[in-house]
Amino acid sequence: MRHATDSVDSVCVFCGSSDAADPAYLRAAASLGRDLAAADLKLVYGGGGVGLMGACARAAHEAGGRVLGIIPDFLVGREQALESVEHVVVANMHERKMLMFDRSDAFVVLPGGIGTLEEVVELLSWRRLDLHAKPVIFYNPDGFWQPLFDLFQHTVDARLTPAGFMNAWTAVDHIEDVVPALRAAEPQPDDASLKVARTG
């Protein structure tokens, strides 16, 4: 696995794939796609054309941004793979997640369901094991992710997780703050491990 670099060029976005999501979440995802394109940050995402992921990718692409979708073959139809952008079809979910990790310098987490939750927990577990120091930014509208943060704190309080783990991510309340948070959290060449400050 790659460790930190001194700049962020590509950003993996984890988010929901449901078209039934709150329209405000879909609008926020599209706004993020445009913001990433404007900042010349490549979007790496799950490859689908549905839900928040589709909204983010289409908006980034339409704004002239660089987009890479990574999708397992069994989801190409189910998640309506967005063929208008560069995409890679892989064999399974494990390969998808590993390639998304390898192709990304930082991560943004938007509202999502069990699939997003699974991706995020694994990503943060790798940080806990000091396997990477890539920035992780949560978009946390109206405290969407607060129950997860509370669960993490519960494990800290139970002395099952070190207290420093709570510094492994940044949370922002407004979608327009995501790109500035990414820039603020860019690891430096001498950054050894978990030095991302949490806000929000």
pLDDT in tens, 181-199: 999 987 544 343 333 333 3
Asked if residue 1 is part of any domain, the answer here is no
What range defines the domain where residue 52 resides?
A: 10-182
Q: pTM of the entire structure?
A: 0.88
| Domain CATH number, residue 108 | 3.40.50.450
pLDDT of residue 156: 98
In a domain, 157, yes or no: yes
Rounded Cα distance between 178 and 194, Å, is 19
What pLDDT, in 10s, does the model give residues 29-40? 999 999 999 999
Does 45 reside within a domain? yes
Domain-located, residue 107: yes
**Residue 78: predicted pLDDT:** 80
Is position 200 within any domain? no
Q: In this structure, is residue 197 part of a structural domain?
A: no
Per the structure, the count of domains in the chain is 1
Q: What is the pLDDT of residues 107-120, one digit of tens each?
A: 999 999 999 999 99
3 domain-assigned: no
94 in a domain, yes or no? yes
